[in-house]
Every structure is written in structure tokens, then in C-alpha cells.
């Protein structure tokens, strides 16, 4: 509630909506109000067209032929790596490995790096804010390798307890794996500071940027992290494509995660040597069209400008928090300090299950998420089993927030 808008928006969400065909449809007879962007974003026409265009005009396998279509596909797919690299300030496109999503990216690192570099007694530090995809793979390693998982907590305001950080780091800490922006609270964590602290004890740092990269300008060199992961579908790209950024030496030293075609340099029955980066980690025929679509999504985001997107969402966030605070039957989680947030608000309505809230909003064409948001440890810590969640993106408007809150008022009345 103490958040202040730092700069006026220069982005017109009404115009932007025209780029997204889904907003032409109606849901339950009403115009679609899509407030479930933390789950996945909608796709602009340019991304949809790029998929259509690829299959109509270029479809073929990459790295496998001298014919024109194969050459074109290879160039387009590599180009997409370059766009992602540039987007996050990576020096070389070969530092970008395409995966299916953030979950697969973290698994790749757990298997490719963790399995071969961690030993009994080593420690990993995560936070209580993590999405399950940044908890469960490390539990697999804990059980296989006998490592310990330490956890940095949150305070009652929804911020990480940074004062506890030095006490949780030691020369035993080999990896700090931390969520950049919370998919439950919206809190943006100070990953640069956390990275600096982790480096003091020689730990590697992995940033889960799934919820930050759609909204914030990210520079991996500025953060100083070793790895960063994200999902394309939350940043206007297609589903089934995500990526890892990794530092060259680390990726070169790492074992592959998947073995087979395309990830090899030379195969004999006795022995195989690995392909160069990033192909060493992209075994088999990859999601070529997904990668190309992600590259086009990056173009779209860069055209609008991440600063404009962030400022617009901040304006929506402040507006929504102020409006929701007018009703004492709406309980909002987090957002109790002026720390940086993305446009995510988890809330509950007194006496009504969030699934009922989401179901009744849907009757009015309003899409929100309800559930545990794949962050059960955090939900438990905040004493909520389930919550409803609205999450904003560049095409959302204040009128949509008004309509959502008006509908919440009607739902509350109905249940009384």
C-alpha cells in the first residue's frame, strides 16, 4: 500500500490489446479480462504469425542438411538464441540453451551440474519463496547425494529476511538458487545483493527469472549470476520453450543432461565426444518453431520497452492495491512495504473459497488463478492453504481492475 508510482506510463494498453487476437473473443458472453499472466501470458499476432510462417515456408530439421530449408531453419533458430542473449545482456549466444521451460532448465542444472559437482555435506541455499520447480529438483539431489538444503525465510511484510543471509552461507554452500520475483507475492528480490553475498563464500548463483523477465529489464552481468532460467510462455512466447543462461566455463565443464542426436561431436561404439555449446545441451530435434517464436516475442517486448511495461504494471499494481484496500473483507498477502514488486496480488475473500471466487469471476469473463500457486512452503509460511491471484501485464487496464473489484463485491454480497 505504501508503493509509489515512480514514473508515468507511456504505454497504451488499449492499443496493445489490438495486437493480441485472443481479446477479440468473449468468455461466457463477456469480453475477456485476462488477469492470469503469472500463469502464462497471451500471445501477440507477430508471435502467432511467426509459427504459422515457419511451418508454411521454412519447416525442416536444423543442423542436418545442406538444403535451403534446413539452412534457413538453422539460421532462424540460432538467431533466436542471439535475440535472447542480447535481451539479458549475455556476451555470447552460445551461453543460451533452449529447454522446454524454467522447470526443465532447473532440472538440467540439477542433473548436469549438481549430480556431478556436489558431494555429501555440501549445501544449497534456496528461499521459502521458491516455486516448486526450484525446490523439488534439489530435494532429488539431497536424497541422492546427501547434500543439505538451507532455506532463507520471509518476514511478515513478504520480503526475504536478508539479515539471516550471512548466517546461512558458508564455505559449504555450493549454490544459491533464488527466485527473482515471487509468483505469489510479486516481491522482487535483491538478486544482485544476494549474488554478491554468495560470491563471498564462493557459491554459484542461479536466478529463477520466470516471473521477472516478462516485466523487468535484466542484465546477467550486472546481477553477476552464474545461471539464469526462464520460460518463454510467460513472456509472450509459445509454450514448450524456455532457456538457461550459463557462464561459458561452467557450461563447458558440465555434463550433458540428455544424450543422443545433435549433442555429439563424434560417436564410436566405445566413446562419444560432445558438441560445442549450446548444442551439447540440446539433444534431439529441439522445439525449433518455439525458439523462433520466442525470438519474435523478445522483439515485441523490446519494441514496447521493458521500462514502459514495468511502469505501466506498477501503475496498475498501485491502483489495484489502493482499490482493494477499501474493503476489509479482502485479505491481501505481501505488499506491505515499499520494496519493488511486479504486478501480482494474491488475496482471499473472507468466508469464500478462492476456487469459488475464481469460478464466479470466470462467469463474468474474468480469468484469475486460484490454488496454491506451486509454492506450498511459502503459502504455509503465510498461513494460507489457497489464495486467488490477479496478475497484470502490458495489455491490462484500470477499467479491467475496476470490473474485477466490482465483481468481487457482488460475489461477497451473494455469499452473505
Which residues form the catalytic set? 374
Grid cell in block for residue 273: 565426444
* CA–CA dist 287, 144 (Å, integer): 30
How near is the Cβ of 413 to ligand PLP at its closest, in Å? 32
User: Is residue 124 within 8 Å of residue 147, measured between CB atoms?
Assistant: yes
* CA–CA dist 45, 403 (Å, integer): 26
Residues binding ligand PLP (CB under 6 A)? 101-103, 131, 133, 179, 183, 208, 210-211, 231, 374
Residues β-bridged to residue 400 = none
Return the number of the residue (230 or 366) whose C-beta is nearest ligand PLP: 230
How near is the Cβ of 211 to ligand PLP at its closest, in Å? 4
Return the number of the residue (280 or 369) whose C-beta is nearest ligand PLP: 369
Grid cell in block for residue 103: 522447470
How near is the Cβ of 40 to ligand PLP at its closest, in Å? 8
Return the number of the residue (141 or 352) whose C-beta is nearest ligand PLP: 141
How near is the Cβ of 273 to ligand PLP at its closest, in Å? 31
Return the number of the residue (234 or 335) whose C-beta is nearest ligand PLP: 234
**3-state SS class at 98:** strand
* CA–CA dist 374, 188 (Å, integer): 18
User: Is residue 265 within 8 Å of residue 276, measured between CB atoms?
Assistant: yes
Q: Is the peptide bond before 278 cis (omega within 30 degrees of 0)?
A: yes
How near is the Cβ of 349 to ligand PLP at its closest, in Å? 23
* CA–CA dist 414, 237 (Å, integer): 39
Return the number of the residue (39 or 405) whose C-beta is nearest ligand PLP: 39
* CA–CA dist 16, 392 (Å, integer): 14
Among residues 232, 311, 209, the alpha carbon closest in space to that of 40 is found at 232
Amino acid at each position: 500500500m505504501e508503493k509509489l508510482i515512480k514514473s508515468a506510463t507511456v504505454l497504451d494498453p488499449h492499443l496493445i490489446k489490438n495486437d493480441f487476437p485472443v481479446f477479440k473473443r468473449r468468455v461466457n458472453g463477456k469480453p475477456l479480462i485476462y488477469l492470469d499472466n503469472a500463469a502464462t501470458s497471451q500471445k501477440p499476432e507477430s508471435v502467432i504469425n511467426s509459427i504459422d510462417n515457419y511451418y508454411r515456408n521454412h519447416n525442416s530439421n536444423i543442423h542436418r542438411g545442406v538444403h535451403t530449408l534446413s539452412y534457413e531453419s538453422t539460421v532462424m533458430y540460432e538467431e533466436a538464441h542471439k535475440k535472447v542473449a542480447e535481451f539479458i545482456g549475455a556476451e555470447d549466444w552460445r551461453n543460451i540453451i533452449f529447454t522446454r521451460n524454467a522447470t526443465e532448465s532447473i532440472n538440467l542444472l540439477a542433473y548436469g551440474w549438481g549430480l556431478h559437482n556436489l558431494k555429501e555435506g555440501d549445501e544449497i541455499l534456496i528461499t521459502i519463496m521458491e516455486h516448486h520447480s526450484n525446490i523439488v529438483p534439489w530435494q532429488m539431489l539431497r536424497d541422492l547425494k546427501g547434500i543439505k538444503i538451507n532455506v532463507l525465510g520471509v518476514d511478515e511484510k513478504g520480503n526475504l529476511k536478508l539479515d539471516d543471509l550471512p548466517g546461512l552461507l558458508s564455505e559449504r554452500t555450493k549454490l544459491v538458487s533464488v527466485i527473482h520475483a515471487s509468483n505469489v507475492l510479486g516481491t522482487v528480490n535483491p538478486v544482485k545483493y544476494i549474488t554478491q553475498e554468495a560470491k563471498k563464500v564462493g557459491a554459484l548463483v542461479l536466478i529463477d527469472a520466470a516471473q521477472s523477465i516478462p516485466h523487468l529489464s535484466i542484465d546477467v552481468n550486472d546481477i553477476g549470476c552464474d545461471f539464469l532460467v526462464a520460460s518463454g510462455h510467460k513472456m509472450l512466447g509459445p509454450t514448450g520453450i524456455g532457456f538457461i543462461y550459463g557462464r561459458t566455463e561452467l557450461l563447458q565443464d558440465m555434463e550433458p543432461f540428455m544424450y543422443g542426436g545433435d549433442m555429439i561431436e563424434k560417436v564410436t561404439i566405445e566413446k562419444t565426444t560432445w558438441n560445442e555449446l549450446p548444442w551439447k545441451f540440446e539433444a534431439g530435434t529441439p522445439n525449433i518453431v518455439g525458439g523462433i517464436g520466442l525470438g519474435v516475442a523478445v522483439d515485441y517486448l523490446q519494441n514496447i520497452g521493458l521500462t514502459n511495461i514495468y511502469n505501466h504494471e506498477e501503475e496498475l499494481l498501485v491502483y489495484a492495491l489502493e482499490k482493494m484496500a477499501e474493503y476489509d473483507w479482502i485479505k491481501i498477502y505481501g505488499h506491505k512495504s515499499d520494496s519493488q514488486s511486479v504486478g501480482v496480488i494474491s488475496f482471499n475473500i473472507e468466508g469464500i473459497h478462492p476456487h469459488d471466487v475464481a469460478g464466479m469471476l470466470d462467469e463474468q469473463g474474468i480469468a484469475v488463478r486460484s490454488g496454491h500457486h506451486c509454492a506450498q512452503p511459502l503459502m504455509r509460511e503465510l498461513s494460507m492453504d489457497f489464495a486467488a491471484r490477479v496478475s497484470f501485464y502490458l495489455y491490462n487496464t484500470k477499467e479491467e481492475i475496476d470490473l474485477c473489484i466490482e465483481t468481487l463485491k457482488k460475489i461477497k454480497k451473494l455469499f452473505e
